[in-house]
């Protein structure tokens, strides 16, 4: 892996400084305080927020791409065709592009971003606190900048290189995972409230339990079922709770939850990919569609 250092990069552009784009700016700013970051958005509020995070904010995607050698694409996938129209095709050439857009395939990015070296990543919202679990995949010509992409994403948490075909299930598990866990936490808190515990106390308690359980499983590297069995006393409290989980089909529901989210990621990806392909064909036939 060739190691280009982040200080060899002149400027990082974040196209679409929304929730995940801002989290990336915040994390990178903390890691590399000297790096120039250009952020783009449409609304004034987005630009103000990006400035507050230490980025240069603009609505001009074309300038942002031209002035930067590393570009993060963090608009919603269905806004990507608009960005394509706003940026001169030649501006992408030789740039390092990291797309966090769900579903947009490497082959489509390669075709759309004329001559760029492209990577896809799937972070999650925990990037806001430096705890994203992020999967990355590189295009076939992406070996050269793997180190720099990994270092940048490491500012937001842990990174895992995966083949592209894993990204949809990663989206279903780790991309949507924080929302699923939030729902489970809420349910456990409500259970405690039902028996009389004050809500705040229950909430703080379960957050600590979650953090502690994750640490314990990580440190001991054991199967979760092993830990479960260790704390399940015959005729005790935990086995009664486990029986309830089982009779309500909670485990099966959670398995199906990840499966459903992954399948949806694939469906969205296919739809978006087709829309982008159509847009590229239109742009090829009518170059005046550029809306710059
Ligand atoms: N949220 C997550 O947890 C998460 C996790 C992994 C991946 N992702 C991916 O990250 C991407 C963004 O998601 P998000 O949740 O961060 O959405 P978001 O908060 O809506 O952010 C998207 C941003 O893109 C900006 N934008 C739209 N069109 C633009 C244009 N033509 N030029 C410049 N900026 C433009 C919007 O600006 P305005 O607000 O000014 O309109 C908005 O701030 C999606 O593709 C999603 O698949 C999200």
Separation of alpha carbons 175 and 91, rounded Å = 30
Percent of the chain with pLDDT over 70: 95
Top mutation candidate among 41, 59, 71, 182 for ligand 1, by most atoms within 8 Å of CB: 41
| Domain CATH for 119 | 3.40.50.720
CB 15 within 8 A of CB 75: yes
Residue 237 within a domain = no
* Its pTM surpasses 0.85: yes
Q: What is the tens place of the pLDDT at every residue in 227-286? A: 999 999 999 999 999 999 999 999 999 999 999 999 999 998 898 888 888 888 888 777
Which strand (E) or helix (H) includes residue 201? helix 199-220
pLDDT attached to residue 290: 63
Of all atoms in ligand 1, which is nearest to the CA of residue 102? 47
pLDDT attached to residue 2: 40
Separation of alpha carbons 11 and 70, rounded Å = 7
Residue 64 within a domain = yes
Residue 230 within a domain = no
pLDDT exceeds 90 at position 39: yes
Is the CB of 269 within 6 Å of ligand 1? no
CA of 101 to the centre of ligand 1 (A): 8
Of all atoms in ligand 1, which is nearest to the CA of residue 21? 16
Residue 150 within a domain = yes
CA of 24 to the centre of ligand 1 (A): 12
pLDDT exceeds 90 at position 202: yes
| Residue located nearest, by CA, to atom 5 of ligand 1 | 124
pLDDT exceeds 50 at position 97: yes
CA of 74 to the centre of ligand 1 (A): 5
Of all atoms in ligand 1, which is nearest to the CA of residue 101? 45
Q: What is the mean pLDDT of residues 139-145?
A: 89
CA of 43 to the centre of ligand 1 (A): 12
Residue 73 within a domain = yes
Whose tokens are 């729902």? That residue is 183
Is the CB of 103 within 6 Å of ligand 1? no
Q: What is the tens place of the pLDDT at every residue in 40-91? A: 999 999 999 999 999 999 999 999 999 999 999 999 998 999 999 999 999 9
Is the CB of 124 within 6 Å of ligand 1? yes
- CA count, 13 A, side-chain hemisphere, 279: 22
Residue 3 binned pLDDT confidence (cut-offs 50, 70, 90): very low
How many domains does the chain fold into? 1
Is the CB of 177 within 6 Å of ligand 1? no
pLDDT attached to residue 259: 98
CA of 15 to the centre of ligand 1 (A): 8
Q: What is the mean pLDDT of residues 25-45?
A: 95
Of all atoms in ligand 1, which is nearest to the CA of residue 74? 11
pLDDT exceeds 70 at position 287: no
Percent of the chain with pLDDT over 90: 82
Is the CB of 14 within 6 Å of ligand 1? no
Give the CA dihedral 237, 239, 244, 249, nearest 10 degrees: 150
Residue 198 within a domain = no
Q: How many other CB atoms are found less than 10 A from the CB of residue 40?
A: 28
Residues near 2 by Cβ (< 8 Å), separated by ≥ 6?
Answer: 143, 144, 145, 146, 147
Residue 32 within a domain = yes
Residue 29 within a domain = yes
Structural domain containing residue 144: 6-167
pLDDT attached to residue 275: 86
């Amino acid at each position: 892996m060739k190691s280009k250092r982040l200080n060899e990069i002149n400027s990082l552009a974040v196209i679409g400084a929304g929730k995940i784009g801002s989290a990336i700016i915040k994390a990178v700013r903390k890691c590399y305080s000297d790096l120039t970051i250009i952020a783009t958005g449409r609304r004034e509020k987005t630009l103000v927020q990006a400035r507050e995070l230490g980025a240069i904010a603009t609505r001009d995607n074309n300038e942002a791409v031209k002035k930067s050698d590393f570009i993060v694409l963090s608009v919603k996938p269905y806004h990507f065709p608009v960005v394509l129209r706003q940026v001169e095709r030649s501006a992408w050439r030789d740039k390092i592009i990291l797309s966090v857009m769900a579903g947009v395939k490497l082959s489509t990015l390669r075709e759309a971003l004329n001559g760029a070296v492209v990577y896809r990543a799937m972070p999650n919202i925990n990037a806001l606190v430096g705890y994203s679990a992020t999967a990355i995949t590189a295009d076939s010509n992406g070996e050269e900048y793997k180190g720099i992409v990994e270092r940048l994403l490491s500012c937001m948490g842990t990174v895992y290189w995966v083949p592209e075909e894993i990204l949809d299930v990663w989206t279903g598990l780790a991309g949507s995972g924080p929302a699923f866990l939030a729902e489970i936490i809420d349910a456990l808190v409500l259970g405690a409230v039902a028996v009389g515990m004050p809500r705040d106390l229950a909430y703080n308690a379960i957050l600590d339990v979650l953090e502690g359980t994750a640490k314990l499983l990580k440190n001991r590297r054991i199967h979760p079922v092993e830990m479960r069995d260790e704390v399940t006393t015959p005729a005790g409290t935990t086995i009664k709770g486990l029986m309830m989980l089982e009779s309500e089909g909670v485990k099966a529901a959670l398995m199906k939850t990840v499966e459903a989210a992954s399948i949806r990621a694939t469906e969205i990806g296919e739809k978006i990919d087709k829309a982008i392909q159509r847009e590229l064909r239109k742009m090829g036939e009518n170059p005046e569609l550029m809306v710059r």
